[in-house]
Structure 1
Amino acid sequence: MPDIQIRALQSSPDTCAMLSEMLVEAVANGGSVSFMHPLPLQEAKAFWRDSLGSADRGERIVLGAFDGAELIGTVTLLLKLSQNQPHRAEIAKMLTRLSHRHRGVATALLREAERAAIKHGRWLLVLDTAEDEGAAGLYERVGFKLAGLIPDYAFKPYGGLTGTLIYWKRLQAGVPV
């Protein structure tokens, strides 16, 4: 794994630009992350401006992994959920630059997201990933449990449907079941 630094990202034009380029790269390479190919850079920027604004309001945490000054990965921890779910958070937008995949970046981001969740009183995490070419193996290696599959859930970036796998993870022992 490269010597990476992980930190919560703040809203800025530079941060938004780096995240947007990473999102466009992910979609162009088949990443099923809610967008279709080709993803215009302006659309990616609008998404990240909204996401970083939400982070500035404390509704989510956007983490970034850096190799020097280069942003090489990100994950979002969604905190603002329904009133009856103050104990859980959702993992979203897990992205790693193609140049840094399979080097432990995503695992490090997930571990930091878990620490942030606990710090914010969240002890149950949920996430979803595409059945086709998703990150199921990664999530299972770090302890997420498969809840089930929803067939034909979303379109892949280049078209055609894929199912979605729903995962969960309890972060602390001794919490209510």
Structure 2
Amino acid sequence: MSDWCIRPIAATPAALDDLATLLVETVASGASVSFLHPLAFEEARNFWTGSLEAAGRGERVVLGAFEGERIVGTVTLFLGFPPNQPHRAEIGKLMTRLSHRGQGIASALMAAAETLACERGKSHLVLDTAEEEGAASLYERLGFERAGLIPHFAFTPHGRMSGTILFWKPIAPLPGSPARAGARR
């Protein structure tokens, strides 16, 4: 196993290039992460520029799995929700370089995102994944529960229609629940 660590990603030219390369590779391999194949490098880089700008505003956290200074995986934790949803966060854009899959990077990224969500006072995580060739089995192994399936949700990167599976996971007591209220006394 390679030596890698998980930490937030700073918006540097090298990080943007690594993230863009990772996104292009992920889309080309068929993973449904909101883009169609072929994905131009500049389009991918522009996406990550905007994502890291949103992180700078506190709307999300973009975590990276770093091997040295090279990003080999990423996950985004979305934090900016309306006032009636202060208790939840959403997972998005979980990706690992093809050359680094099977090493536990995705699980480590998810664990780091969950810890960060708890530290930010969140009690629920939600996510979705493609019905076909998605990461449903990974999310189930990590304790996420299926909430349902939306058929014909989006196109895969190679143009087929696919459903999406919605998942959720309680990660802390709900705000105002007896366990949390008792802890404040």
RMSD: 1.3
Contact 1:74/1:93 (CA < 8 Å) preserved in 2? yes
**What secondary structure, in the 3-state scheme, does the structure 2 residue paired with 1:85 have?**
coil
Q: Compare 160-169 and 64-73 and name the one that shifted more.
A: 64-73
Q: Report percent identity of matched pairs.
A: 54
Structure 1 gap ranges (5+): none
Report the TM-score when normalising by structure 2.
0.92
Other-structure match for 1:76: 76
Structure 2 gap ranges (5+): 179-185
Moved segments of 4+, more than 4 Å? none
Other-structure match for 1:123: 123
Deviations 1:108-138 (A, max 9, x none): 0000000110111111000000000000010
Report the TM-score when normalising by structure 1.
0.96
**What secondary structure, in the 3-state scheme, does the structure 2 residue paired with 1:83 have?**
coil
Other-structure match for 2:169: 169
Contact 2:55/2:61 (CA < 8 Å) preserved in 1? yes
Q: CA 1:174–1:161 in 2, change beyond 3 Å: closer, same or farther?
A: closer
Contact 2:73/2:106 (CA < 8 Å) preserved in 1? yes
Greater C-alpha Rg: 2
Contact 2:87/2:174 (CA < 8 Å) preserved in 1? no
Other-structure match for 2:96: 96
The number of residue pairs the alignment matches comes to 177
Q: CA deviation at 1:2?
A: 2.8
